[in-house]
């Protein structure tokens, strides 16, 4: 019998204790001798220098461990909003996830965003309420907050116990047992706990939560319901069966609690992962596997994080392929690959995110393509990850040394392929614009460009990437371009799309009989023209182009098409025809009440509009809408005002007409 495989991701809001939990899981499974602390820069999963410096996860780390004869691959994902694409990529490779909720703050913006992503991706989710080692934080209040905010009923399966204000044990509901720390710090069963003082109270608490679990599980298992109605005991194995069905529903979520920092609640959580997560799916025939992540190792080059779709020994691997285990930043060679398992892959060709590689090692299809039963490629409408992210900043970058131009261009191309939320725009003046989601992502990319690729570049100050929208219909405009015997001409008009649509559409019915390369060339040229914009402050979005006429001579090359179309758009759309729209961020912030006035005043000075204010007498909470251009460097400013006590997060709210 083959060893079961489970692939899981760990998600959370920034600073909820996600990486600390990952370290504790590895320690509990015996993969590391002692858990590293994020604060000390010693976390196994945060291996990048930028992660150690900032104390946050930037790149999804991968590790493996065994637990109760089940093989686990788990991915520690970033919690910072700038690296949301990392989370999206991780979710394409997993069947289950642990969503960490901090008892200190409850459900926060990224917690909610992560939960929605998990639901949309149909990834089975288990909650872990963390930071309960602080007796001031309430488990009950956190559970209520989860139910109210996430809209699901948490079914609690572990309960922390305290002695003199300090966490001392965990009660496991399913096994009706008590877990304590051994001398090595590992969680072990407390065999003699029922003879201790207070055991009766703990036993009553276990019964309370066991009965609650039975009540919830009875909605999904008729046998459990029958026993419950007759007031007969429900055996743990039967309850487990009902809870498995419950875990697959949208109304409930299995929930564990504890403290990652103190190492309580870890054993129960990991055991739950082997119980409640689904098996790996059945994959298509003739598929070697799928690329789910791209990485770059200095001295090794590019590798692909790869999910195998087949069992295959080394002797049967396609020529030129090598597979290894990836543990943080270490590559460990293997002699076979197993279906559903995750490996690092070195291939003889350049891969792309989402590509399926076939058993012959040659056939590939894109992220948005599938094959039918006959093996033919069939395009589908599934959007790529990059379409979910709008870059908000643009930064001009140029080479320090002219002779490095080609190397820098190649390196930027690799980074853009590794991160679908990062885009590069080449300028004819010999420099590039880097389009990023936020400042942290930009800083990390520039650091990696130097450290991993050895590129010396000069970067300007980041600027807000605005959006340009047409105010009215324009055109038609005509343009003719000729080089030697080759001539082409175009007549084109444009109109704004309704609402907040930001895509570019092309209407050119008369070109249905044109060669595909001509039609693709026109489409590509128009997309490139709109990416630059008219005013140079951001892309022109929400436009429908109508090509009334396009004539060309045989042998026209793509650069000629691009030039003809670009000049036509320049003639068609003038600065007076567009309106600038600026990005507005929703800022969520909490700080001690004694700093509330200073923090609120600073937000209002940045043209921010405070829309929600709450507090519990100790902590001040607020939400505000703030223009992105006014909130550059906010981390430094709010840290100074609040003396380092404020916590905040931001997300894009939308775009509004600019007033400057």
pLDDT digits over 617-651, tens only?
888 889 999 998 888 778 778 888 888 778 777 78
pLDDT value, residue 53: 52
> Residue 187: beta bridge partners?
181
Q: Residue 40, CB half-sphere, CA atoms under 13 Å: how many? A: 8
3-class DSSP assignment, residue 251? coil
Mean pLDDT, residues 126-137 taken together: 92
How far apart, in whole angstroms, are the C-alpha atoms of residue 369 and residue 120? 20
Residue 414, judged by CB atoms within 10 A of its CB (0-12, 13-18, 19+), counts as middle
Residue 574 reports pLDDT greater than 80: yes
Q: How confident is the model at residue 82 (pLDDT cuts 50, 70, 90)?
A: low
Residue 124 reports pLDDT greater than 90: yes
Supply the DSSP symbol for 181.
E
Q: pLDDT tens digits for 214-243?
A: 999 999 999 999 999 999 999 999 999 999
Q: pLDDT tens digits for 246-291?
A: 999 999 999 999 999 999 999 999 999 999 999 988 888 889 998 8
pLDDT value, residue 516: 77
Q: How confident is the model at residue 372 (pLDDT cuts 50, 70, 90)?
A: very low
Residue 167 reports pLDDT greater than 60: yes
Helices then strands, each counted (H, E), the chain: 15, 36
Mean pLDDT, residues 70-96 taken together: 76
DSSP 82-135: GGHHHHHHHHTT-SEEEEEEETTTBS-HHHHHHHHHHHHTT-EEEEEEE-TTST
> Which residues, in sequence order, are CB contacts of 103 under 8 Å at separation 6+?
129, 130, 131, 132, 134, 137, 138, 139, 142
Question: Locate tokens 């324009």: which residue?
Answer: 474
> Of the ranges 156-160, 380-384, 536-540, which is most confident?
156-160
Question: In this structure, what token pair is assigned to residue 442?
Answer: 């930009």
pTM higher than 0.95: no
Residue 309 reports pLDDT greater than 90: yes
537 φ, ψ to 5°?
-105, -5
Q: What percent of the chain stands above pLDDT 70?
A: 88
Q: Residue 358, CB half-sphere, CA atoms under 13 Å: how many? A: 13
pLDDT value, residue 245: 95
pLDDT value, residue 223: 95
Question: In this structure, what token pair is assigned to residue 490?
Answer: 């175009």
pLDDT value, residue 61: 61
Q: What share of the chain is helix, strand, coil (3-state, %, to 5)?
A: 30, 35, 35
Q: Which of the residue ranges 57-71, 354-368, 423-437, 441-455 would you say has the lowest mean pLDDT? A: 354-368
Q: Are 287 and 310 in contact (CB under 8 A)?
A: yes
Q: How confident is the model at residue 80 (pLDDT cuts 50, 70, 90)?
A: low
Instruction: Please report which helix (H) or strand (E) contains residue 584, including its range.
Output: strand 578-592
Pairing of strands 287-297, 356-358: antiparallel
pLDDT value, residue 230: 93
Among residues 58, 104, 57, 56, the alpha carbon closest in space to that of 259 is found at 104
567 φ, ψ to 5°?
-65, -35
344 φ, ψ to 5°?
-95, 135
Residue of higher predicted confidence among 150 and 379: 150
> Which residues, in sequence order, are CB contacts of 158 under 8 Å at separation 6+?
170, 171, 172, 173, 256, 257, 258, 265, 268, 269
3-class DSSP assignment, residue 386? helix
Residue 6 reports pLDDT greater than 50: yes
Q: Which of the residue ranges 371-375, 537-541, 648-652 would you say has the lowest mean pLDDT? A: 371-375
pLDDT value, residue 632: 78
Residue 482 reports pLDDT greater than 70: yes
Residue 494 reports pLDDT greater than 70: yes
Mean pLDDT, residues 105-110 taken together: 83
Q: What percent of the chain stands above pLDDT 90?
A: 34
CA distances from 475 to 395, 570, 571, 638, 649 (A): 32, 11, 9, 48, 44
Helix axes 199-217, 236-247, angle to 10 degrees: 50
Q: How confident is the model at residue 387 (pLDDT cuts 50, 70, 90)?
A: low
Q: pLDDT tens digits for 8-61?
A: 988 888 788 888 898 899 888 888 877 655 544 444 544 445 444 544 444 556
How far apart, in whole angstroms, are the C-alpha atoms of residue 391 and residue 171? 46
Q: Residue 562, CB half-sphere, CA atoms under 13 Å: how many? A: 7
pLDDT value, residue 334: 92
Question: In this structure, what token pair is assigned to residue 499?
Answer: 């609402």
Residue of higher predicted confidence among 159 and 533: 159
């Amino acid at each position: 019998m083959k060893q079961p495989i489970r692939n899981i991701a760990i998600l959370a809001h920034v600073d909820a204790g996600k990486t600390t939990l990952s370290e504790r899981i590895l320690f509990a499974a015996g993969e590391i001798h002692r858990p590293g602390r994020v604060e000390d820069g010693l976390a196994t999963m945060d291996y990048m220098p930028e992660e150690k410096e900032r104390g946050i996860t930037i790149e999804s780390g991968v590790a493996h461990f065994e637990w109760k004869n089940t093989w686990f691959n788990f991915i520690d994902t970033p919690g910072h909003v700038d690296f949301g694409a990392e989370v999206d990529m991780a979710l394409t490779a997993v069947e289950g996830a642990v969503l960490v909720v901090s008892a200190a703050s409850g459900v926060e913006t990224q917690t909610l965003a992560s939960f929605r992503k998990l639901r949309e991706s149909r990834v089975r989710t288990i909650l872990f309420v963390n930071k309960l080692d602080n007796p001031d934080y309430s488990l009950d209040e956190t559970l209520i907050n989860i139910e109210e905010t996430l809209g699901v009923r948490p079914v609690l399966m572990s309960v922390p116990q305290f002695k003199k204000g300090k966490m001392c044990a965990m009660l496991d509901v399913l096994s009706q047992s008590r877990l304590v720390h051994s001398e090595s710090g590992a969680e072990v069963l407390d065999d003699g706990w029922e003879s201790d003082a207070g055991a009766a109270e703990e036993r009553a608490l276990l019964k309370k939560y066991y009965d609650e679990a039975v009540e919830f599980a009875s909605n999904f298992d008729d046998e459990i319901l029958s026993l419950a109605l007759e007031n007969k005991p429900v055996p743990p194995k039967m309850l487990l069966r009902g809870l498995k069905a419950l875990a697959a529903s949208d109304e409930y979520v299995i929930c564990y609690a504890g403290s990652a920092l103190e190492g309580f609640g870890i054993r129960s959580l990991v055991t739950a992962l082997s119980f409640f997560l689904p098996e790996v799916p059945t994959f298509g025939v003739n598929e070697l596997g799928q690329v789910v992540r791209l990485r770059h190792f200095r001295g090794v080059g590019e590798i692909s994080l790869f999910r195998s779709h087949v069992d295959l020994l080394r002797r049967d691997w396609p020529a030129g392929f090598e597979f290894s285990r990836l543990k943080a930043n270490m590559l460990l060679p293997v002699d076979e690959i197993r279906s559903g398992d995750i490996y690092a892959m070195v291939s003889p060709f350049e891969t792309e995110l989402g590509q399926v590689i076939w058993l012959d090692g040659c056939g590939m299809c894109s992220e948005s393509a599938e094959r039918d039963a006959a093996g033919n490629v069939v395009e589908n409408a599934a959007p790529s990850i990059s379409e979910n992210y709008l870059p908000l900043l643009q930064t001009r970058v140029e080479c320090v040394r002219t002779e490095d131009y080609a190397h820098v261009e190649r390196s930027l191309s690799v980074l853009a392929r590794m991160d679908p939320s990062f885009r590069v725009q080449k300028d004819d003046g010999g420099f590039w614009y880097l389009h990023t989601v936020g400042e942290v992502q930009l800083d990390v990319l520039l650091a990696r460009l130097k450290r991993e690729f050895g590129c010396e570049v000069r970067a300007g100050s980041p600027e807000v990437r605005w959006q340009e929208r047409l105010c009215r219909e324009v055109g038609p405009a005509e343009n003719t371009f000729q080089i030697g015997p080759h001539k082409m001409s175009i007549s084109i008009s444009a109109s704004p799309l309704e609402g907040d649509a930001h895509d570019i559409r092309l209407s050119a019915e008369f070109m249905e009989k044109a060669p595909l390369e001509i039609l693709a060339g026109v489409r590509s040229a128009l997309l490139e023209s709109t990416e630059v914009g008219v005013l140079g402050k951001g892309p022109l979005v929400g436009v429908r182009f109508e090509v009334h006429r396009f004539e060309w001579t045989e042998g026209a090359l793509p650069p000629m098409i691009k030039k003809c179309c670009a000049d036509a758009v320049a003639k068609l759309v003038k600065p007076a025809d567009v309106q600038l729209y600026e990005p507005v961020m929703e800022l969520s912030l909490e700080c001690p009440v004694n700093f509330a006035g200073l923090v609120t005043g600073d937000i209002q000075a940045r043209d921010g509009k405070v829309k929600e204010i709450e507090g519990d007498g100790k902590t001040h909470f607020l939400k505000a809408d703030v223009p992105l251009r006014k909130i550059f460097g906010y981390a430094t400013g709010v840290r100074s005002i609040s003396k380092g006590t404020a916590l905040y997060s931001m997300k894009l709210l939308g775009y509004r007409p600019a007033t400057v």
